[in-house]
């Protein structure tokens, strides 16, 4: 998962950091691709949000 996509899903870098219970600085230190375990965590936490986004586009 790309960092820019994860931030977009969460709404902001600060919201993503709060969601994952890490600092904004930790999020900033990720490269373009976020760590695999964080990607899995984000997908699990935002699963319902993704479903709602896809439903609204239909």
Q: What is the average pLDDT across 4-10?
A: 90
Q: For residue 26, what are its two tokens?
A: 């930790």
CA angle 24, 10, 26 (to 5 degrees): 20
| Residues 11-42 pLDDT 10s | 999 999 999 999 999 999 999 999 999 999 98
Q: Which domain holds residue 24?
A: 3-57
Phi/psi at 31 (5° precision): -75, -165
Q: For residue 3, what are its two tokens?
A: 């960092």
Number of domains forming the structure of the chain: 1
Distance CA 6, CA 20 (A): 11
Q: pLDDT band for position 55 (50/70/90)? A: very low
Q: Read off the CATH number of the domain in which 53 is found.
A: 1.10.260.40
């Amino acid at each position: 998962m790309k960092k820019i996509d994860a931030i977009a899903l969460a709404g902001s870098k600060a919201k993503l950091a709060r969601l994952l219970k890490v600092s904004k600085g930790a999020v900033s230190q990720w490269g373009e691709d976020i760590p695999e375990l964080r990607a899995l965590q984000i997908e699990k936490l935002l699963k319902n949000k993704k479903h709602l986004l896809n439903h609204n586009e239909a």
